[in-house]
Structure 1
């Protein structure tokens, strides 16, 4: 029997660290010179070699930077300080202390199943929550906050990549089944929505959450999945004669990819096709993007749909509505 290698003793190349954390190679080298972190060793070929402990710390740093922290304030900090900052951010976003305590206890049960490799247990628990709460409650009260908690736990190094992937697969399967169970006759009203992400965005849970809520409101949805080139998005919007193009942006998206991609898409689409963009990408909140209206949470989707239905098509503008996902 082979004894598995201790993950903490594994080292990664600079290319692997870039893929794992989303932090570019040049940035890693600059931080090494400017802040003294990370501090890689050298392998047999004299190439940089990063211990997993440093990689886990870089994940937390990237998460904090996506939330608005500057590199000079976080890169040189020890892991304990970074984790404290990350927990503080989570508490601010979650709400009052009493509510956080109760919600955290409920969400922690799912996280514990995931960390204990209980694949069947997590599937059953999530399925029961969906059956009890209904699709809308399941998304707003379980999927959205649990996805955030799992992202934080992964960034702090307390959740393995394979465990995060298992969660994503379980949630995706449940939501697709729930969407398919909504009678097609109930999905006949405007707007007709095309859902996808830009090529740099691989995360699709945000799209599924938005698609679920739109379908519950009777919207007709066409999903292309993730990573669709901008010009292909525009072509698909014309081919399917949609009213809205809905895009999802996670915190890992680089600001220039968000801003430049939206500008290009707006130039390619007719004026009567709206663009709804959503997610936690920092660019959507740090700067004003032309014809972009930022909405704060998933509940704003209903308001956006109602507003679209009240607005005559001839008066529709190309506002990008940012829906938290």
Structure 2
């Protein structure tokens, strides 16, 4: 492989490589792969030789992330001009999310005033009124999309997006603890693949599984295949559940799931969901989910199979 030297930047507004995940919501690994595969982004170098990403390219990466979240593939959007990407984002905006309801407005008022205690109270109140299933499947799904849109537009900052994620995660965690599934006859391990830094969707899956009476073991994000397989064996897991965000390349998700299926060799079910797997073809040993609403039916099938025995 021939390595092309990158231009050196002495002093210019740019994002260092250590901050690129925080600023774009895309992992460094994904960005580096796009750099090699598509020739974008085109980072500069600081005096130490480390990558620096010009602000216009950072904004383009945000637009790209939004378009991939809406269902487009990386090869369709990576490297396109910023104006074209912005136009595509506008066309891709959904029309069915109510963004001016009183509840939604109070959520974003609390977020933009950085009042985490009020934000937590609002989310708890919504959860208690709606029930956990509706709260996760409808309210959280819509709020997540809206937060991402506001961040993309520059209406909220990265730290505010992270504040929302942290508070939402804590609210879901509290609700899951209250369900007490320690004596459940089914066990699920929850994790993400290496390079997948987003875990709020996985926590939502945890909530739905726990609501259905499954004992969930939260391994946290970015666990290698061999560690997942070992954990599944030692914990006698019935399900390994993984979440793949839009920022995770579909090709890599496909390869990871196939390696995991081979390592598990049918000893338990592998469930994968999220935008990152929405366009993957069916594969042996892996159940793909379009959304969390289909989890209860899948559990019914799993339990029927377990009851029937080998």
The answer as to whether partners of 2:68 and 2:247 remain within 8 angstroms in 1 is no
Given the alignment of the two structures, is residue 243 of structure 1 paired with residue 238 of structure 2, yes or no?
yes
2:262 pairs, out of 254, 260, 267, with: 267
Structure 1 residue ranges without an equivalent (≥5) = 1-8, 92-96, 317-325
The answer as to whether partners of 2:271 and 2:289 remain within 8 angstroms in 1 is no
The answer as to whether partners of 1:237 and 1:245 remain within 8 angstroms in 2 is yes
Given the alignment of the two structures, is residue 68 of structure 1 paired with residue 38 of structure 2, yes or no?
no
Q: Distance in 2 between matches of 1:61 and 1:192?
A: 37
Q: Distance in 2 between matches of 1:75 and 1:11?
A: 18
2:297 pairs, out of 303, 314, 317, with: 303
Given the alignment of the two structures, is residue 149 of structure 1 paired with residue 146 of structure 2, yes or no?
yes
2:15 is aligned to 12
2:136 is aligned to 139
Alignment of 1:101-250 (within 5 A): 101=98, 106-184=103-181, 188-250=183-245
**Bigger shift: residues 118-127 or 17-26:** 17-26
Structure 2 residue ranges without an equivalent (≥5) = 1-11
The answer as to whether partners of 1:179 and 1:215 remain within 8 angstroms in 2 is yes
Q: Deviations over 1:166-194 (max 9, x none)?
A: 1111011111111111144xx54443211
SS of residue in 2 equivalent to 1:163: helix
The answer as to whether partners of 2:190 and 2:242 remain within 8 angstroms in 1 is yes
2:7 is aligned to none
The answer as to whether partners of 2:273 and 2:290 remain within 8 angstroms in 1 is no
The answer as to whether partners of 1:191 and 1:308 remain within 8 angstroms in 2 is no
Q: Deviations over 1:101-130 (max 9, x none)?
A: 467674344233312323333222112112
- CA drift of 1:53 comes to 4.1
The answer as to whether partners of 1:18 and 1:25 remain within 8 angstroms in 2 is no
**Bigger shift: residues 245-254 or 81-90:** 81-90
SS of residue in 2 equivalent to 1:24: helix
After superposition, the Cα gap between the structure-2 partners of 1:238 and 1:221, relative to the gap in structure 1 and judged at 3 Å, is same
Counting matched residue pairs gives: 294
Cα RMSD (Å): 3.2
The answer as to whether partners of 2:244 and 2:274 remain within 8 angstroms in 1 is yes
User: Given the two structures, how large is their TM-score scaled by the length of structure 2?
Assistant: 0.80
Q: Distance in 1 between matches of 2:43 and 2:266?
A: 51
User: Given the two structures, how large is their TM-score scaled by the length of structure 1?
Assistant: 0.76
The answer as to whether partners of 1:207 and 1:248 remain within 8 angstroms in 2 is yes
